[in-house]
Amino acid sequence: MDTIYRKFYRNCYFKTNGFIPSNPINKTLFPGDFFHIINGEMVILGNIFSGKIVDTKNVEFDHNIPLNPDSWKFSDGVTKPYAGRGTGQSIDGNFEFSKQILAFESSGSFLFYAHQPEAVKIKNWTDIQNELIIKLTQTYYSFRKLYLITETASTSDWTLAISGSKKGELEIAIETENFGLVDIFGHQNSRTIQSKDIEYYNRQNERNPSFFKAKKLTEQYEKLPVFINELIYQRSLIKQWGETFYTYDVTSNHDYDVALLNNAQISILDLLSGNQLNPNTALQYFKWADTCLDDVALFF
């Protein structure tokens, strides 16, 4: 995804209490969808409910959860250098209108406004999370990393404009006496008079669940020190082994090896023996974690 969307995605995460826009924007998502992020794109791989990975009789949902509407209108780097009222003529006679010019200060500056946000979530996630670890890593699939959507949000409508340069400009008008920046921008009757250097400008008029919260499948790093200590011990024997195995003089910097191992990004799964990871032990090596800004950054 183009980096001009980064500010919008980061702000959406903060302002809406953790909801992330789909990628691409306006992609339809459902609770239970699981996916990878590949080259900045969400690749949906399946759904735990439609795929019958869990028994839907054991799952509870919360529907139509109202969200704070004030959290779903936000902007970054947008000013209103002009707002005024004028009079026009039509075949029905004169009419009054309000007009505004929106100025975008840099590439990626944006304005977003949505109405009536609602959420749907898996209510009893804790009851099924361990079952899903076993099935997604052992019995149904062999995933090592994965995202699973636990909550989606939709709005009755939303409007988003993102500038492609520091000279972005948007001129809009509406045939009512309304001077509110956000009200005119997001109003269904507003009209675009002209735009300049606006990279993305769209109004969604349907309730499409395209914002989400997800859990990510990660390793249980609590066990990592045990494996690191074993590696350090094995490396401590390398000098003695080398002197007997090779026919030339060998030196070994053990302290350097220890420092590297303690700071290395090592995967526990790479250190397990062939049968050490199985359905009975999967919960020892995997866990679910909340998505965060590090995951949002993978889109860019």
Pick the range with the lowest mean pLDDT from 71-75, 90-94, 153-157.
90-94
Closest CA to 20 of 112, 146, 151, 122: 151
Residues 6+ apart with CB under 8 A from 208: 26, 28, 154
19 confidence band (pLDDT: 50, 70, 90): very high
Omega prior to 24 cis, within 30 of 0: yes
**Domain positions in the chain:** 3-219+287-299, 221-266
Instruction: List the beta bridge partners of residue 203.
Output: 159
For the chain, give the percent of residues with pLDDT over 70: 78
235/276: higher pLDDT: 276
Query: Residue 2 and residue 300: Cα distance in Å, rounded?
Result: 6
Mean pLDDT of 155-181: 84
Residue found by looking up tokens 């339809």 in the block: 28
The residue with greater pLDDT, 229 or 17, is: 17
Return the higher-pLDDT residue of 174 and 273. Answer: 174
158 within 8 A of 115, measured Cβ to Cβ: yes
Interior/surface letters 123-159, b for 16+ CB within 10 angstroms, e for the rest: bebeebbebbbbbbbbebeebbebbbbbbbbbbebbb
Query: In the prediction, which pLDDT does 181 show?
Result: 45
Q: Cβ(100)–Cβ(174) under 8 Å?
A: no
**How high is the pLDDT of residue 4?**
94
63, with CB counted inside 10 A (0-12, 13-18, 19+), is exposed
Structure-model confidence comparison of residues 239 and 124, the more confident one: 124
Residues of the chain with pLDDT > 90, as a percent, come to 63
Residue 285 confidence (pLDDT) above 60: yes
Least confident of 32-41, 80-89, 277-286: 80-89
Average pLDDT over residues 232-248: 68
Q: Residue 155: what residue type?
A: T
Does pLDDT of 287 surpass 70? yes
| 105-162 pLDDT, tens digit each | 999 999 999 999 999 999 999 999 999 999 999 999 999 999 999 999 999 999 999 9
Measured CA to CA, the distance from residue 220 to residue 234 in angstroms comes to 23
Q: Note the pLDDT of residue 190.
A: 85
Q: Is the predicted pLDDT of residue 231 greater than 80, yes or no?
A: no
Residues in the chain: 300
Task: Quote the pLDDT of residue 89.
Answer: 56
220 pLDDT more than 90: no
Confidence of residue 85 (pLDDT cuts 50, 70, 90): confident
Which 8-state DSSP code applies to residue 85? E
Report yes or no: 207 and 133 within 8 Å, Cβ to Cβ: no
Residue 178: pLDDT over 70: no
Q: What value does the mean pLDDT of the chain take?
A: 86
Tracing tokens 């980061």 back to the chain, one arrives at 10
pLDDT > 90? residue 102? yes
